[in-house]
């Protein structure tokens, strides 16, 4: 039996899309993970494909033992969220993943108008570690053991993160939602 999402989507999550969408796609991701970097572009395509039928949620799952910049990137994204610019930072990090490091985080922060001292302090002091650790532990409780891991309507997607596999899973959930609403 597939794992289920143990921590429900809430207002503390980073959400794109209609809150009443029939399908919610949750990703546990690591900003330095090369597979997450590939999945980023696939998710964008999936979002465009489904429009307002899909709600997308991103949660932090930094694999700090193998990705030294994953946690600073998550800290930068969480600080950007304070300024209502989470998605701009999230996208900027993934779109420049080949240059991920502290200089890139400050470059992106500057482009978004984030106060450089605040960004430096957030990264240095792990200001958002409670949020990041909460995402991580929720992922572990939900059966996440690598990145990216996706959940479609609270059920772990055990297929690949390729477009065709995600669409097949989402379509199956849309069919179920339509059957229930009749």
pLDDT of residue 180: 74
Question: Do 109 and 75 form a contact (C-beta atoms < 8 A)?
Answer: no
- From the number of C-beta atoms within 10 Å of its C-beta (0-12, 13-18, 19+), residue 167 rates as middle
Strands of the sheet containing 23-29, edge to edge, are: 14-16, 54-60, 23-29, 149-152, 155-157
Average pLDDT by stretches of 10, the chain with 182 residues: 91 96 97 98 98 97 97 98 98 98 98 98 98 98 97 96 96 86 68
pTM for the structure as a whole: 0.96
Backbone region of residue 153 per phi and psi (left: phi > 0; alpha: psi in -120 to 50; beta: other values): left
14-181 has which fold?
Answer: Glutaredoxin (3.40.30)
Q: What is the pLDDT of residue 1?
A: 65
Domain boundaries along the sequence of the chain: 14-181
How many C-beta neighbours within 10 Å does residue 70 have? 25
């Amino acid at each position: 039996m597939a794992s289920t999402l143990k921590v429900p989507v809430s207002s503390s999550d980073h959400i794109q899309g209609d809150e009443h969408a029939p399908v919610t796609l949750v990703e546990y991701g690591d900003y330095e993970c090369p597979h997450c970097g590939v999945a980023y572009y696939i998710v964008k395509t999936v979002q465009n494909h489904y429009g307002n039928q899909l709600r997308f949620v991103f949660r932090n799952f930094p694999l700090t033992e193998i990705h030294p910049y994953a946690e600073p990137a998550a800290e930068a994204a969480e600080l950007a969220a304070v300024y209502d610019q989470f998605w701009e930072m999230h996208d900027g990090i993934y779109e420049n993943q080949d240059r991920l490091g502290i200089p890139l985080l400050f470059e992106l922060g500057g482009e978004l108008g984030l106060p450089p001292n605040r960004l430096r302090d957030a990264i240095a002091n792990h200001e958002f570690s409670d949020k990041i650790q909460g995402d991580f532990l929720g992922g572990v409780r939900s059966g996440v053991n690598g990145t990216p891991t996706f959940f479609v309507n609270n059920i772990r997607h055990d297929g690949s993160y390729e477009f065709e596999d995600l669409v097949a899973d989402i379509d199956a959930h849309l069919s179920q939602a339509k059957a229930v609403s009749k």
